[in-house]
Amino acid sequence: MRPIRLTTTRARLTLLSIALLAIAALVADGGLYSIAVISTANASDAALKRQAELISQGLRLTHHGATCLGGDLPTQADDGLATDVSVVGDLGLLTSTPDNPLRTATLEALAAPVLKTRRSIWVDISDASHVRRRVYAISVRSVNATVALIVERSVETQNASLGWIRWLLASLSVLFVALGWLVAYWQACRILRPVRDIAALAQSLSE
């Protein structure tokens, strides 16, 4: 393949095609990645909600805090990702999973509107390490009290699953543009061949 001179018509057609392909790939990547982000967030929210509903059915209040079906509060949702769970009553925090990154005051502040209105809430918050967390809190009626059940997890945990999608989209885009460049160059050569033949014929007749 001969070197492409940027001043030729063939080169300009090829570059125009590459630019259009690159723009199309960028738009497609952005759209697909946005869909993946939304789908991942919705799936994570659904997992948090299912876990909260499951715990609420087995929640039992004791003198030492709260248990789920007589055992510890579960720390993993059905999607396999880790969660932190807390139970807050009118007098404050009753129990929480070990090493919960949210402070007691933060958990009690999250529970306050739930205990007051008896309505569930979704909240995005940052913990003490500035890690973003997704929080789902619901009101649970126990035998002798109403408590707030808080289920939360790191957003970075769910976003980690998007890494391979970014890599895949970038790789496919590079491959798409590279193949497009080859096709555009071949098409430009094919389209301009009759023009070159006519020009060569005219030059030979003029000699």
By C-alpha distance, which of 126, 142, 152 is closest to 44? 152
Strands 84-89 and 59-62, sheet pairing: unpaired
**Confidence (pLDDT) at 1:** 47
pLDDT tens readout for residues 112-148: 999 999 999 999 999 888 899 999 999 998 756 789 9
Share of the chain above pLDDT 70, in %: 78
**Burial per residue of 122-144, b for 16 or more beta-carbon CB atoms within 10 angstroms, e otherwise:** eeeeebeeeeebbbbbbbbeeee
Say whether pLDDT at 4 is over 70: no
Distance of alpha carbon 25 from alpha carbon 35, whole angstroms: 15
Strand partners, 92: 89
> DSSP letters of 77-91?
-TTS-B-EEEEEETT
Say whether pLDDT at 179 is over 90: no
Confirm whether pTM is higher than 0.85: no
pLDDT tens readout for residues 5-57: 555 666 666 677 777 777 777 777 777 777 777 888 888 899 999 999 999 88
